[in-house]
Structure formats: C-alpha cells, structure tokens
Structure 1
Amino acid sequence: MSLRRALLAVPALALAASACAPVDDEPTATVTDPASEPSEGLPSEEFVDPCSPEGAPLVTSGTLTIGTDSPAYEPWFVDDDPTNGEGFESAVAYAVAEQLGFSADQVTWVTVPFNTSYKPGEKAFDFDINQISITPARAEVVDFSEGYYSAAQAVVALEGTAGAEATSLADLQGLRLGAQTGTTSLTAIRDVIQPEADPLVFEDTNIAKQALKNDQVDAILADLPTAFYISAVEIGGSTIVGQFQVEGDAAEEFGMLFEKGSALVPCVDDAITALEADGTLADIEQQWLSDVVDVPTLR
C-alpha cells in the first residue's frame, strides 16, 4: 500500500471506532430523598409551647397582664390589692398564672372598670377576672374561659325593714330592689323576681350599698360571697335575707374574660381544668369563700 493510501485510511478507521462507542442520550439526574438531606436556608427551630411565657400571645411579651376593677372588693380581693395573691379571685389568677409557667413577678395588673370589660374591641389585658358572669350576649363580643366559680344570687336588707321580712321570691315582688348595672344580679331581679316596680340601677356596688343605707331601696342583690361580705363587714345592721339559684342566661358562673378570638383561651381552660383536677381550686374556695354556705334559700 502506498503511503498516501495509508494516510487516507486513518480517519476512516477513527470514524468507525467512534460510531461503535456507547452514547448517553440524556444526562442522568441523581434523585435524592429530601428527608435524608439537611435543609439549606431553613434553620431548625425548637418547639415553643404556645401556652408558655415564651410562646403565649400576650399584650406584653413575657408578662401576663390581668385586668380587674377598682376598688377590688373582698372576699374576691383583700385590701383592694389584687397583687397580694389574697382573696378568692387574686389567688385563682396567680394559680392560673403559675400553671401557665409565669412567676409572680411576671404578672402585672391593670384597672378595668366592670362595665367596660365586656365591651367589644381590643383589650389592654390578656384576661380580666372580676366576677364577670358568662352570658350569651357578652360571649358575642368577647371570649370567656371555662367557669371557675358558680354563685347563687343573694338579697341584702337592713334588719327590721320590709326587705328583711321576705321569706320567698314572691315576697320580694312588692319591694324596691336595686343592683349594679350590667350584672346578672340586675338580670335576676328583672327575669326571676319580676318586681312590680322597675329596679333601681347603680353604677357600682358602693353606690348600691349607700342607697340601701339611705332607704332608697328595700334590698339590693349581689352574688352570694359579695352579699356575705356586705352584711358581715360593710353595712352594720344588715342581713342576708336569702339566696336563690338562677337558671338559663342569668345563671351566675364566673369566667375569665378575653378579647374576642384570643388564642390564650384554651391555655387558660387547660390551666383551670388542671387546678380543678388536683384540688387547688377547691382549696382556694374553701379558704376564701367557706363562710357563705349557711344562708336560707328563697323559693
């Protein structure tokens, strides 16, 4: 073979060899299980309990803000000082706070007038505790916790007056009756007793007590523990005529009040359930409200 013919044969052999080599039609993709690979750009976060001081939806971060009225009456509070942990509602509030993980110095109190607490709108507190009865009308614009106390209604009158002589609900119908505005005591007068004359309505319990002393009313109504304190401590010569339970919308069950839609409600519900289960709530009631049981029942 001539040199020229040999050189011409080399490219042809190379072409034939390349034609026989395997060729990938598409590049092969590597499939990896995402669960087996660390996430890039997504740092892992430790779980934070949404009911804890670190995770709860609070008005002020890290602080449980509780509202109540001023003055704060006994036996619910002692010495008009919600911060001392004394009195039924102060003790309950601090027990709930502790159950949620708050120390006493992580609790702060704000003054909230009773009549504004259950109005719609944004709240300056995480919850309010102030003998606020759970009612359907209020629950339309605010949220409530589970009830932490059920109270009967009671009638207070001055000894030796027509009010003190009543022995039944019917006996009260012809009397001048009064109660604080916005309370279930006022509802009980209108819906249960149904007096012949419209009840007198007072801005707060202090004014109602003064009206009783001034003979502007024959009797005033309040929840039983409050009535007991009025009679035993605040108004000399007064007596608790009797008590009665109210059914339906006027039933007296106290709940902690929240801004509508508050995510803190289930946390407080769980705390109340735990305090009921371990006997703490009963112990607090026994300590602060044990004297209210021996009162005649009006029927």
Structure 2
Amino acid sequence: MRPHRHPRTAAALTAAALALAVAACAPEEEAKDRTGEVADAADCATADLPLKQSGVLTVGTDSPAYEPWFSGNDPSNGKGFESAVAYAVADELGFSKDQVKWIKVGFNGLFKPAGTDFDFDINQISITPKRDEVVDFSEGYYAASQAVIALKGSPAADATSLDDLKGLKLGAQTGTTSLTAIRDVIQPDDDPAVLEDTNIAKQELENGQLDAIVADLPTAFYITAVEIPDGQLVGQFQVEGGQTEEFGMLFEQGNKLLPCVNRALETLKSDGTLDDLEQQWLSDTVDVPVLK
C-alpha cells in the first residue's frame, strides 16, 4: 500500500516543497532520468563499488515491513519477495548475506534533500516522473495493479466498476501510489482518508470508518487471506494510462551504484531468478475481477 513499500495535507505540502527545492538545485546532468543506465561488468568490481560503508551494502526499508514483501517484520531473514530480491542483487554485486546491512527508513523520509544513509531503498516504491526529478530509480523489479479491499457484505464489496466506488469513503496509506490512484483513477466524491500506515488503514476498515481501502495487489491478497478474515478483494484496476505500476529501488540522486544494480537486475531477469522469486513469494494465482 505504499514502497512499496505512496499525506496529511501539511506533510504533503512539506514533501512537495522539499522535492521542488532539490529539483531546482540539482545540476542538469543529475536531474535527467537515469533509470535505464546499465554499467559494464568492468565497472562493477565489488571492491570498487561506491558505498556508504566500505565492504557493506546498506539497504533501507520501512518498519514495520509487511508481508508478502518481507516476512516476520525482519528484512534481514531473506524471506518475502523484496528481501529475497535485495539479497539476490547483493549476491550479483559480490556481497555475502552477512555483508548486507538493513536500516529503517520511513517512507516519507526517502525524499529528503540532505542525502541518505542507505545505498538503495526497497519498499514497494513506484517509479513516477515526479519522484524521478528528486531521486534516482533502478529498473523496475516488479509490476503490480492496484486492488480494492472491503468487508464482506458491505456495499463496497458489491462494486463491479470504478463508478460504484465513487460515493464511498475510501482510504490508503500516505505517500503511496494507491492514494494517488484513488484520487486520479477512482475520483471519489469525498476526499480519501490519508492514513499513516497499513495497520491504521486496516483498523479503520474493520471499525467501519472506511468503506474500502486500496493497496497493491499482492499486499491486498495477504490482507484478505490472513489479516482481515472478513475482508474481500473486490477487484483490481490499473493506473497511468492502463499500464501497471513498476516498483524500483530508490537511490540518492546521482548515486553511481545505480548502473551496477541495473546490471544485476538485468541478469536476474534474464536468468529467470526474478520470475522464480515472484512465483515463490507473491500470490498472483487468484482470479481477481478488473474494475473499469
């Protein structure tokens, strides 16, 4: 419901102001889209990689870290899709598991202009042009639709189209593409609730304060299967002109490690590792109706 793992109004204004300030100050050569840059193997020797801490790959993510992206709220255990992807990238870069250090980074803290303490952050973060003005993204490692979650037997559970949702009270986590999707795609009659994290969103749904919440599809699978017994996955919908959103690893703008991570991701895609990890950790087998 975020990176991916995407604000009360004041927070949104502050984040926007910071984003504009960084974009205005960034050199032109750094402000351009660097997502597709891929380094040559000769430029990615482990000993020569530009790291925050010598000999250690520092990876950021939010806390709590949710299923199915992480398992047991412990990113370091290698379980869950994003944890497994991070370790697969680390391995391609030449790092053993004990050379990977995880740090907590709140989602809204990802876009601060003062620099970062991580080499990259993995947290269901959607790649968008606006964000790409102030940070850099790796190539996408996963594409996901948005999904609507309601309580069984509620009016929202009977929705068969996006129009059926317009008159309902909807909510999503602050700063997430799910929240943007409510505003831009569903366009409800009332402003959506902006919630601090997924736990609050689930609680307000169960308390009847919200008719439905929106999350990325894999998270919605987990919520309805495990966390909310009376929850129902109403349907899924796509954003940005009918294309699913892509999650990318986030880097401080101008970070020279990015092209080497892209090289690692290319390898993991071509040899089938990413597909295998997706099959292992993400629930994509359920036939979910498409809301239009």
Length-normalised TM-score, structure 2: 0.84
CA RMSD after TM alignment: 1.5
Distance in 1 (alpha carbons) for counterparts of 2:176 and 2:78: 25
- Residue identity matched to 1:273: E
1:230 equivalenced with 2:223 (yes/no)? yes
Q: 1:78 aligns with which of 71, 74, 77?
A: 71
Look up the match of 2:159.
166
Match of 1:197 among 190, 200, 214: 190
Where in structure 2 are the equivalents of 1:77-156 lying within 5 Å?
77-156=70-149
Q: Give the equivalent residue in structure 1 for 2:201.
A: 208
Q: Distance in 1 between matches of 2:214 and 2:175?
A: 13
In the alignment, the residues of structure 2 paired with residue 250 and residue 112 of structure 1 have an alpha-carbon distance, to the nearest angstrom, of 28
Cα deviation, residue 250, structure 1? 8.8
Distance change >3 Å, CA 256–CA 84, structure 1 → 2: same
Amino acid at match of 1:225: P
Distance 1:208 1:159 in 2: 16
- Cα distance between partner residues in 2 of 1:232 and 1:116: 30
Question: What's 1:257 paired with?
Answer: 250
Residue 7 of structure 1 is matched in structure 2 by none
Equivalent residue for 1:51?
44
Q: 1:127-146 CA deviation, whole Å, 9 max, x = no partner?
A: 00000001111111110000
Give the secondary structure class of the aligned counterpart of 2:109.
helix
> What secondary structure, in the 3-state scheme, does the structure 2 residue paired with 1:150 have?
strand
Q: Is the 8 A contact 1:212 1:218 kept in 2?
A: yes
SS at match of 2:48: coil
Query: Which structure has the larger Rg?
Result: 1
1:50 Cα deviation after fit: 4.0
How many angstroms does 1:295 deviate by? 1.0
Shift of 1:120: 2.7
Verify: 1:62 aligned to 2:47, yes or no. no
Is the contact between residue 178 and residue 214 of structure 2 (CA under 8 Å) also seen in structure 1?
Answer: yes
Q: 1:187 aligns with which of 180, 185, 198?
A: 180
Q: Given that residues 221 and 283 in structure 2 are in contact (C-alpha distance below 8 angstroms), is that contact kept between their aligned partners in structure 1? A: no
* Matching residue's letter, 1:97: A
4+ residue segments displaced more than 6 Å: none
Within 1, Cα distance between the matches of 2:153 and 2:143? 30
Q: Matched residue pairs, number?
A: 252
SS of 2:47's equivalent in the other structure is: coil
SS in 2 for 1:109: strand
Shift of 1:119: 3.0
Once the two structures are TM-superposed, the CA of residue 292 in structure 1 deviates from its matched residue by 4.9
Deviation at 1:236, TM superposition (A): 1.3
CA distance in 1, matches of 2:102, 2:46: 16
CA distance in 2, matches of 1:96, 1:228: 26
Give me the whole-angstrom Cα distance separating, in 1, the residues matched to 2:234 and 2:111: 30
Shift of 1:181: 0.8
Runs of 5+ consecutive residues of structure 2 not aligned to the other structure: 1-40
Percent identity, please: 69
Kindly state the Cα deviation for residue 91 of structure 1 after the two structures are TM-superposed: 0.4
Per-residue Cα deviation, 1:175-199 (whole angstroms, up to 9, x for no partner): 1000001101011000000001110
